[in-house]
Amino acid sequence: MTLTREFAVVVLAAGKGTRMKSDLHKVLHPIAGRPMLHHLLATVDGLAPSRKVVVVGSGRDQVQEALGEGAQTALQEPQLGTGHAVQQAQAQLGNFGGDVLILYGDVPFVRGETMQAMLDRLHAEDAPKVVVLGFEPEDPLRYGRVLADAEGRIARMVEYKDASEAERACTLCNSGLMAARAGDLFALLDRVGNENAQGEYYLPDIVNIAIADGDGCATVRTDRPDEVAGINSRAELAAAEAQWQDLKREEAMEAGVTLRAPETVFFSYDTELAADVTVEQNVVFGPGVSVAKGARIRAFSHLEGAQVGEDCEVGPYARLRPGSVLGKAARVGNFVEMKKAVLGDGAKANHLTYLGDAEVGAGANIGAGTITCNYDGYFKHRTVIGERAFIGSNSALIAPVRIGADAIVAAGSPVSRDVEAGELRMVRAEQMVKPGWADRFHDTMKRKKAAEKKG
């Protein structure tokens, strides 16, 4: 049973992240085009929390800027352990009396159902003081153990270095994620000491304190250890990206998308592909892409901020930049680039073309080598091409300019003035012909080269 009790989220993100070796804060490193912290908060938002507090420390300006109005922040300075970090959120929560879910900014893939299960467990009949998320990794050696019975009631939590051989045989490990009622949480934290080698205040100590008081604590188990994997290094970041991409590929194929070589296709966090879309090998989707049913994205194409309509074909080797919109059955071919451009229904740009700040009408044909010259060195200007217009190969449309419906621009024309509907515009210099000139030139140059060799 899912309860509707009010709850707050505290996200710990105060660590220095030294293993990442980066000027960018660890929790802001992107996975699938989105900072890992925002992955986590997006899942949290799906549960509609009453409060969100992110505990910051080193690099706090970066985190605060990235959060904007999305969450409150609390400063942990100095940084004296995870228990001390959670305490810093108390002032922001004020008199909040609901539940508190404790998460980590570098553990971005916790599922919403896992979070909800932790909150629900707080309100089971035995009413535990603290709920701990447990997991069973392939290699449990470095993790603290959660000693619990079959019903999840915790007898003790112990760090690996302090555990006996019998306790080390337990494979249920502490993920660090917890839930507790606000009043219980901060009362227990006030009693946590720092008598340890690091001189820090550890969050898991609240469990053993509650148990010593005779109160119950419980664990909820996740059957997916990968959802609690922390990201602390570039290698772990790469592994997280691979994990996310694998999941997204599986979801896409289950939804009716054909991936010719799934392992070579890379999605962004918000990629939307309809059923019966086909994606060939080595395609990259940046943020903000939607592809309608029946479309085909051919090999080695890169799409970002683009909307692809039904039955379109893109690529191979096409690049759609932000603001690109393709109408139904439009065609973008090899080595075509679009930016802030609309290609109407059935319109085609098949080869070697740049369409920037442009609107192309339905059924128009853009010849190979055509470019819209949209930038004058200071400002961008727009090109409008009417329905069924034909733009000949190697034309330069010098914006701002309008080409009317059914107009024809002859190949090789630099067009700087509007073309009316139905007109032919041909802009070419007169061709000069000198019979025999090329033969005489070649003979002269061959004699010069032969003379140089003899010399």
Just list the catalytic residues.
351
Residues contacting residue 174 through CB under 8 Å, at least 6 positions apart: 132, 134, 143, 144, 145, 146, 157, 204
- H or E segment at 397? strand 396-398
Pairing of β 401-403 and β 390-391: unpaired
Distances (CA, A) of 242 to 32, 319, 385: 9, 23, 42
- Residue 42 burial (CB < 10 Å; 0-12/13-18/19+)? middle
Pairing of β 324-326 and β 306-308: parallel
Pairing of β 408-409 and β 424-425: parallel
**Among 29, 15, 452, which Cα is nearest to 237's?**
29
**CA gap 333, 317 in Å, rounded:** 8
- Report whether 251 contacts 265 (CB < 8 A): no
- Report whether 284 contacts 303 (CB < 8 A): yes
- Residue 226 burial (CB < 10 Å; 0-12/13-18/19+)? middle
DSSP H helical ranges for 53-132 = 60-67, 82-87, 90-93, 112-122
**CA gap 351, 335 in Å, rounded:** 6
Q: Please report where in the chains the tokens 């033969």 appear, as a residue.
A: 439
In this structure, the chain runs to a length of 455
- Report whether 172 contacts 221 (CB < 8 A): yes
Which of 307-310's residues contact partners 24+ apart within 8 Å by CB, and which partners?
A: 309/345
**Among 136, 112, 1, 121, which Cα is nearest to 48's?**
112
